[in-house]
Structure 1
Amino acid sequence: MTHIHTGGCQCGAVRFRAEGEIGFPHLCHCRMCQKAAGNYFMPLGGVKWENFSFTRGEPAWFHSSETVKRGFCGKCGTPLFYDGGSDHISITLGSLDDPESVKPRLQTNLMHKMSFFGELDHLTHETAMDMTPDEARKVAASSRQHPDHDTGVWPPERWEEKS
Structure 2
Amino acid sequence: MYKGSCNCGGVTFTVAGDLAPPSACHCGQCRKQSGHFWVSAGAEDEVLSVTDSGTLRWYAASDIAKRGFCGTCGAFLFWKNPDESHTSVALGALEKPTGLAISRHIFTADKGDYYDLNDDLPKRAQ
Q: How many residues align?
A: 116
Report the counterpart of residue 116 of structure 2 in structure 1: 118
Which position in structure 2 is the counterpart of 1:71? 68
- For residue 29 of structure 1, the aligned residue among 26, 31, 38 is 26
The aligned residue for residue 92 of structure 2 is 94
Q: Which structure has the bigger radius of gyration?
A: 1
- Which residues in structure 2 correspond to 1:2-17 (within 5 Å)? 4-17=1-14
CA distance in 2, matches of 1:115, 1:44: 21
On the 8 A contact 2:2/2:98 being kept in 1, the answer is no
Q: Secondary structure of 1:101's partner? A: coil
Partner of 2:53: 57
Following superposition, the deviation at residue 100 of structure 1 comes to 4.7
Q: Which has the higher strand share?
A: 2
- Normalised TM-score (structure 1): 0.66
Normalized per residue, which structure has more helix? 1
Equivalent pairs: percent with the same residue? 33
Q: How does 1:36-55 map to 2 (within 5 A)?
A: 36-39=33-36, 41-55=37-51
**Measured at CA, do residues 30 and 79 of structure 1 come closer, stay the same or move farther in structure 2, by a change above 3 Å?**
same
| Structure 2 spans left out of the alignment, 5+ residues | 119-126
Unaligned runs of at least 5 residues, structure 1? 121-163
Task: Give the equivalent residue in structure 2 for 1:103.
Answer: 101
Structure 1 residues 64 and 105, CA gap change in structure 2 (3 angstroms): same
